[in-house]
Structures are given as C-alpha cells and as structure tokens.
Amino acid sequence: MDQNQNCHKNNEFLFKVLIIGDVAVGKSSIMKRFAENVFDRKYGSTIGVDFKTKKLKLGGKAVKLQIWDTAGHERFRSITSAFYRGAHGIVLVYDVTRMETFTNIPKWLQELDLQDYNCTVKILFGNKSDLSSERDVPRETAFKYADSNNMFLFETSAKTGNSVNEAFEHLVSRMLVAFHEAESTATKPILSGDLSTCILSEQEKIIAGSGCSC
C-alpha cells in the first residue's frame, strides 16, 4: 500500500490488467492493437501467457498498464491462473460473431470469483465488430447482460482499431476511481497478490528514478 500511496503522490500509477476469454476471440490482437497499434498474428495462438506494457495519461495522471494476455485454451488454465493474481483490472473478451464465446462469459466470471476477484474492475469487450455481416451476438442482448452484471461493454475491433483505446481508457478511469475509493475507505489495500508485489517492486525502481521514494 505504501508504494501505491507514494506513487499516488507523484500521480503515477501502475495497474495490472488481465485479458481473458474464449479461444480465438482476439485477446492477443486487442493487446497488440492497444499497446503497439498493430494487427498481426505471427506464429500462432497464445501459449501460456503473453505480456505488454502501455503508458497513458488520463486526467493529468500518468498510468502505466501492465497487460497480461492469457491463453484461451482451457487446458492452459492450470498454468495461466497463477498469473491472475494481483490484477487490478480484467478485460473479458467475446467474439460478436460466435454466440458461444458470449455465453461462456459467466463461466469466466465464475472462474474469477473462485479466485476472489470480486473487487477488481471488470470490463466486457465484444470483439470483431468489423465483421458486421457475420454478427451472432445481438447488441441489445450483450448490453443488457453487461448492465445487469454491472459491467461496461464496448464493441471493439482489434483489426480496425475501433473503440479499443476508448475501452481501455474507460477501464483505466474506473481503476483510478476504485483505487481512490479503496484508499479513502480502507487501510487495507485493494491491490494485493504475491506476483504483483514482485512486479510492483520492479516498478518501484522505475518510479524511484522519477523522484518517487516508494
């Protein structure tokens, strides 16, 4: 918590964001589009975890996002779930052209609940919105579901870049709010987890370099 308070004084934040969802919904593409503004697919599906960072400024605050992309294949879950720990934000992705990827969202939420992510900020991405002729998940159904589960929904296209940045910015603003709420109401950090601690300690060095003593 100390480090976060210190970082806060400096208006510098580090958030860990996890991208989860079914196989081939475009998780890696979303991450690449947001972090590097590219759309490519290299040698194949994600195996285990992948990772990118992205800096952005929002409302005068410098935020660094550490984005963890996970394999969608359920077999990898025993490996990837170890990396869920300490996430501040979670991006749940489905493919608007494949209904089953949407109907599986509750399963992903359940998985998170098992690991006690109740207070983590969650956001829903309906990806591949550019493929309008192949749409399988009606907008209304999806938005209704998102509303009733207290999540924001963005229909995105990693291919064209449509709404990807807006969705992430929204996520960041919600994480900042959650952070301030937790800071003002509790002495206990909302930000916890072994892995994040080790990453944050690495981050400390970066922040320390910019004048923060944390």
Partner 1 sequence: GYPYTRDKIIKEARVDIPPLLRDKIWAALLNVTGNVPVNYDNIDKESFTPTDRQIEVDIPRCHQYHQLLASPTAHGKFKRLLKAWVVSHPGLVYWQGLDSLCAPFLSLNFNDEALAHSCLKSFIPKYLYNFFLKDNSPIIQEYLAVFCHLIAFHDPELFIHLDETGFQPELYAIPWFLTMFTHVFPLHKIYHLWDTLLLGNSSFPLYIGMAILQQLRAQLLTYGFNECILLFSDMPEIDIERCVQDSIKIFQSTPKSVAARQHDYRPNEKHEGKVKAKTEKEFLPVEQLKSEKCPRLSLQDMLQIMDIRNGDKTDYAAKSPSKTQSKSWGLVVDIRHPEDYNRGHLSGSINMPSNQTFSDDNELVPCDSATTLQAAKGKIIIVLGGRANNCPKFAEKLLNLVFPRLCVLDAGGMAAMRTIGLMSVFPI
By CB under 8 A, residue 20 contacts partner 1: no
**CA pair distance 31, 54, nearest whole angstrom:** 10
**Closest by Cα among 81, 66, 62 to 9:** 62
**CB nearer partner 1, residue 14 or residue 146:** 14
Stretch of 48-56, 103-111, 168-176, 183-191 contacting partner 1, by CB under 8 A:
48-56
Determine which residue in the list 5, 9, 11, 48 makes contact with partner 1, applying CB under 8 A: 48
By CB under 8 A, residue 208 contacts partner 1: no
**Closest by Cα among 87, 72, 63 to 196:** 87
**CA pair distance 127, 155, nearest whole angstrom:** 6
Give the pair of three-digit tokens for residue 193: 């987890």
Minimum CB separation from partner 1 for residue 31, in Å?
Answer: 9
Give the pair of three-digit tokens for residue 149: 């589960």
E strand or H helix that includes residue 124: strand 121-127
Stretch of 109-117, 142-150, 157-165, 193-201 contacting partner 1, by CB under 8 A:
193-201
By CB under 8 A, residue 17 contacts partner 1: no
**CA pair distance 130, 31, nearest whole angstrom:** 17
Stretch of 113-121, 139-147, 155-163, 201-209 contacting partner 1, by CB under 8 A:
201-209
Residues that bind partner 1 (CB under 8 A): 23-24, 41-53, 66, 71, 73, 75-76, 78-79, 82-83, 195, 198-199, 202-203, 205-206
